[in-house]
Amino acid sequence: MTSHALILTSGLIAMASGFPALVLPRSNAVQALTSLILLAGNAAGAFAVRGWWMEGPTPPLAFPSPFDGLSVGIAIDGVSAAFLVPVLLVTSLASIYGLGYWRQSEHPENGVRVGLFLGLLSGAMTVIVTARDGLMFLAGWETMAVAAFFLVAAEDHIRETRMAAWLYLAASHLATLCAFGTFLLLYAINGTYEFVPIRETGTAASTALVLLALVGFGTKAGIMPLHVWLPSAHAQAPSHVSAVMSGLLIKMGIYGLVRVAMLVPDMPAEWGLFVLAIGTVSAILGVAFAVGQHDIKRLLAYHSIENIGIIVMGLGLALVGRSVGNPVWTLLGISGAILHVWNHALFKSLLFLGAGSVIHGAGTREIDRLGGLGKRMPVTATCFLIGAVAICGLPPLNGFVSELLIYIGLFRVATGADASTASVAALAAPGLALVGALAVACFVKVHGIVFLGAPRTPEAAKAHESSFVMLGPMAALAACCVVIGVVPLAVAPILDVAAAAFTGGVAGPASLAESAPLAAISGVAGLFAGFLAAGALFLGVRGVGRAPRSLTWDCGYAAPSARMQYTSSSFAETLVHLFSWALRPETHRPAIKALFPDDAHFESHVRDTVLEKALFPLTRGVLWLFSWARYLQAGNLQASLMYILAVILFLLLWR
């Protein structure tokens, strides 16, 4: 069996993995069988990728389509393989995690549904990244959209969940319509739906194709301001589903953008600069909105917008390099973008699984209702800390490597390009640095409030560590973050092949290792990791837990309580105020109206500005406008004749 046939088989196995639960008794054993089938399909896919890597390119797998004169099929190139690897890994680990987090015996009303559509989602993403034409791509795309809708709506008895699911479905319809338009224009230009470079660039059709792709795939990826569906969908879905959606589903939008960029090889440099600019804005505002959140899953969702912005920055850098004929910029940009696709899939899935473990143990997503979980959930706290360090782009973990590649590329553009191009890169580089600083502040807040200090509620005080079934996938993801960060040279050959596919085989640097100091990064990261390990060993031997405990300075209080700790709002107040022009925070202060007032409450919220201040008012305005149409359809015969007469007079005058 060829690699392509094995890939198709693995996708079909994944799609069928949830069907046994429909006919068999709903029990944890059936759920385990479902996960086993999904694992088998993903293992077959991984074996196929390895075979493709060892054997080299093989002929595409094609078969007739329902439309005369057209064929559909799948094919693998370097870009497809790079996106397929995290799909196979993360869905497998999420399926295992679900055995402990979302037991069918504990969720009889939706446990089967979650397993069924998780398998469909995995198979659909496999089809998307291996499709060789627009028809196969759209089939996988729509399957993915429908499967994700039912996964988001798993707890549809909750009003907020239903609203999040419908908002996601509306955004998915927009993305699908734009994708249809993109491939119809591809057919109009090339006469085929196959992914081959377009014949004419610079025309109105090619420009419209790029714009439709940017809107459609940008909506699915969550680029600001097209992100409105993402925070609520990630927050309301089951945590292992959130891990798959954040780590993989939104990357299908990135894959669509990369694939379209490969179809338009002569894209002007201005387009690349525009992509670089919107990526920078999305990254900065994404992390700014994250800082002001109180819901741990909603906070992580906004960090997905931030990291999508970083990936788009890498893609914009690659487009600029390709348009001006600089292969080093192209290599650094696309390698940084694809490696960050990998890294974000790993550490963001780890963080969502960690958040799920916290919710499972403490029963709440509200950050201010947690605290002191580090003692009660030490493994979860450690894994979450690894994910937090990785997402902040700090050494010695994987996020540092991919962001550094983009940094190096931006610095080279800023020092070696014309004035306009260099100015955009010169602004993007400090923008990326600002993103890293804000991410550090945000995760210091999250980890400090959730895992350190004292429990803020009785539920947090009673929290318990998760089972090994949930901790195992988290540990595996944490290990991957460490390995890529310490040994980035291990993934360099994969990035070289992906970059060659992106450029169409145009001659460039021999390898990424010759364009970036990966060996030096590996050495520094290894040394850093060694110091951390030695420090941890030293603390373990000294027995830091046996240190004497006493108050150092009680500020006048002899018995401080959990209420005297920093809250999420107080920690983030300065940063939220700094970005208040975009975040528009809402503050509800207590009003003291009597000498002996009742209990007072202080609340602050950072809602989604685009959704609350722009999209919802616009929707209400459109609905109000359409409401007047009922007067035009009142059933009055004389009024209908008057409408016809008015239309006839208009047509006569217009002619």
Q: Give dist(CA 373, CA 361) in Å, integer.
A: 9
Backbone angles phi, psi at 64, to 5 degrees: -60, 150
Asked if residue 399 is part of any domain, the answer here is yes
Q: What does the DSSP 8-state code read for residue 104?
A: T
Domain end marker among 538, 561, 582: 538
Same domain, 481 and 625: no
In a domain, 466, yes or no: yes
For residue 396, cis peptide bond before it (omega within 30 degrees of 0): yes
Q: Burial level of 505, CB count in 10 A (0-12/13-18/19+)?
A: exposed
**Is residue 610 a contact partner of residue 225, using CB atoms and an 8 Å limit?**
yes
At residue 242, the 3 state secondary structure works out as helix
In sequence order, the 6+-apart residues with CB closer than 8 A to the CB of 590 are 597, 600, 601, 602
529 and 647 inside one domain: no
Same domain, 649 and 517: no
Backbone phi, then psi, for 592, in 5-degree steps? -90, 110
CB 398 within 8 A of CB 480: yes
CB atoms closer than 10 angstroms to residue 225: 17
Residues 345 and 478 in one domain: yes
The verdict on residue 355 lying in a domain is: yes
For residues 118 and 110, the answer to whether their CB atoms sit within 8 Å is no
Residues forming beta bridges with residue 159, ordered by sequence position = none
Q: Domain residues for 431?
A: 267-538
Residue type, position 481, single letter: C
Cis peptide before 231 (omega within 30 of 0): no
pLDDT the model gives residue 507: 46
Question: Cα–Cα distance between 137 and 134 in angstroms, integer?
Answer: 5
For residue 307 the two structure tokens come to 């990291």
Looking at residue 67, its pLDDT comes to: 67
Could you say which residues of the chain have pLDDT below 50? 507
**Is there a contact between 302 and 427 (Cβ–Cβ < 8 Å)?**
no
Contact between 18 and 120 (Cβ < 8 Å)? yes
Say if residue 289 is in the same domain as residue 436.
yes
Instruction: Tell me if 275 is assigned to some domain.
Output: yes
Do 531 and 619 lie in one domain? The reply is no
Spatial contact of 4 and 75, defined as CB atoms under 8 Å apart:
yes
Which of 479, 509, 538 is the last residue before a domain boundary?
538
Task: Please calculate the CA angle 27-113-93 and round it to the nearest 5 degrees.
Answer: 75
The model's pLDDT over 117-166, given as tens digits with 9 standing for 90+, comes to 999 999 999 999 999 999 999 999 999 999 999 999 999 899 999 999 99
pTM of the predicted model as reported, rounded to 2 decimal places: 0.92
Do 275 and 369 belong to one domain?
Answer: yes
In a domain, 580, yes or no: no
**Domain tally for the chain?**
2
In the prediction, which pLDDT does 138 show?
94
Last residue of a domain, one of 538, 561, 586: 538
* Residue 342 and residue 461 share a domain: yes
Looking at residue 227, what is its pLDDT? 93
- Do 325 and 471 lie in one domain? The reply is yes
In a domain, 195, yes or no: no
Q: Is residue 157 part of a domain?
A: no
Beta strands 586-588 and 71-74, pairing class = unpaired
User: Is 296 part of any domain?
Assistant: yes
Do residues 534 and 618 both lie within one domain?
Answer: no
Q: What is the pLDDT of residue 142?
A: 94
Could you tell me which of 433, 455, 434 has the C-alpha nearest to residue 377?
Answer: 455
Same domain flag for 530 and 620: no
My answer on whether 484 and 617 are in the same domain is no
